[in-house]
Amino acid sequence: MFADNVLIVTIVAAFLIAVLIGPLFIPFLRRLKFGQAIREEGPQSHYKKAGTPTMGGTIILLALIFTVLKFANVGMKVYFLLLVTLGYGLIGFLDDYIKIRKKRNLGLTAKQKFAGQIVLGIGAYILLYTMGHDTSLHFPGTEWKLELGYFYFPFLLFLLVGTTNAVNITDGLDGLLAGTGAIAFGAYAIIAWFGQDYDTAIFSAAVVGAVLGFLVFNAHPARVFMGDTGSLGLGGALAAIAIMTKTELLLAIIGGVFVVETLSVIIQVISFKTRGKRIFRMSPLHHHFELTGWSEWRVVVTFWLVGIFFAGLGVYLEVVTIR
């Protein structure tokens, strides 16, 4: 019976751990004055959020570690998932810490952050190589696959850096990333379970529970922000799970919200630099809807619903048509 319900048990356990850690950790952050700095070019309605404790992603990571070590069979696969997640979470932690100490909205420079992401990507590739990881790409909804061989390495770096930054960009409203993240990881828990990759499924379920537990404190009005500690850690976890389940290309569908958010930034920058005009009132896209008059909660719920659509489509393509 336990085996049949292990995903539910894992989600509940991670959720409870996060909910228990939160009331202890948030006051601790307040005492240390680890408050969020609000970027000046952001929506004016966000100024009132200045000083809200950040680095709350630590809550997610702690709940994840405890739960995974309890319910998963710890082997190379779990080590890989934890290495990538905690590695990118550490980069985010350093970024958050510098922001707080310097009392500014800029932590690590773009070059420093990129260098850290590349180094972690190299470490991830070496570990995958020792594991004899499959270097082919599987096309969603089909049985086609493309063998990349050594070209899998640059693709892996692109996937890791692209995913972590896309997820990071999405973290801009109370509960936005926590909700869309829980949905995406929930989809991967299902995919991994149907693919009989039970340890990856348990890891994904643990992230779902940890993020939902964090959402208790992060829903509007947020009492704590996850910061780059959480957003980069979650981005790393999402990419790592896609790699383990051999659904690297499917990630673009399951993480459709993150892709759209990133494209909105790219389109905005290209349009402004080439035409001197902005396509959106502000990017990422969630800020555009804010400035059109939508309430923050309306934007967040709408993005959650879009995330459910993308996640459902991804599960259908992988589980129903192939498995």
SS3 145: strand
For residue 137, the cross-strand partners are 146
Are 250 and 140 in contact by the 8 Å Cβ rule? The answer is yes
According to the annotation, is 165 in a ligand binding site?
Answer: no
Where are the alpha helices (H) located in the chain, listed in sequence order? Answer: 6-31, 57-71, 76-102, 110-130, 152-170, 176-194, 198-218, 227-244, 251-254, 256-275, 285-291, 296-315
Nearest to 191 by CA among 212, 205, 209, 211: 205
**How far is the CA of 177 from the CAs of 106, 131, 142, 173, 246, in angstroms?**
20, 31, 30, 8, 24
Q: Identify the bridge partners of residue 53 per DSSP, sorted by sequence position.
A: 35
Tokens encoding 77:
């696969």
Going by C-alpha positions, the residue among 23, 88, 45, 12 that lies closest to residue 240 is 88
5 is in an annotated binding site: no
> Which residues have a Cβ under 8 Å from the Cβ of 271 and sit 6 or more positions away?
277, 278, 279
Residues making up the binding site: 168, 228
Which residues are part of a known binding site for Mg(2+)? 168, 228
